[in-house]
Amino acid sequence: MGNAKWRNDVEDGDPLAYAWRAEDGGNYIRSYLVLDWGQREARIAWHMSSETAITFYEFHGHQTALPLPANVDARRLAQWLVENAARLELIAAGYESAWDGHNHVARFSPAASTLLDDLTMEADLWTETEALALPDGEGVWAASDWLYDCRHSLVSASSSDDEIAATAERVEQEARAEGIRVKGAADYLLSVREELRDEAAQS
């Protein structure tokens, strides 16, 4: 992060490392950028959207968890951390853990508190802007969406499990070359085969 005191566990080699997609029923996984002020550490955490629990460290202010947009580009997120290293260090420098009679809670200097407020307000806009987003058209797709139009050219009623597995792997690799992660290709193609077999049995 441009500062030896900070540990940055955010990867930038895979732009799709932290992208996610809502599943049927809306119970999807969300990614968060967690900033640990005492440990001076930036990392990614994952939570189901149905979870409302917050960790002890977040509740008492020792960590700040910033929700990431669905199509976050890991490269841009890593760059954001580099560009904001000085601001994060100023917040951390103004942080202390203090006993309040019941728990160890985070306390920030007035300057650090203002910077932290600005940071969280900025992060609130991440889901509404393209600042951290993948390039237009790239992201995570459910196999049923990505492969629907070409499904019958990929699998037939007589396709074997091994053939479907090989096709799914090829499809996923081709999609990754276009900046797309296809989720559940093998399972989707197996379901298409079963539909074709059912249609054949009824005809």
**pLDDT, tens digit, for every residue of 127-164?**
788 889 998 888 888 899 899 999 999 999 999 999 99
196 Cβ contact list (under 8 Å, min separation 6): 152, 155, 156, 157
Inter-CA distances, 125 with 2, 69, 133, Å? 24, 9, 12
**pLDDT, tens digit, for every residue of 5-19?**
678 888 877 898 888
**pLDDT, tens digit, for every residue of 81-99?**
999 999 999 999 999 999 9
Q: Of 68, 111, 65, give the one whose Cα is nearest residue 92.
A: 111
66 Cβ contact list (under 8 Å, min separation 6): 32, 33, 34, 35, 119, 120, 123, 126
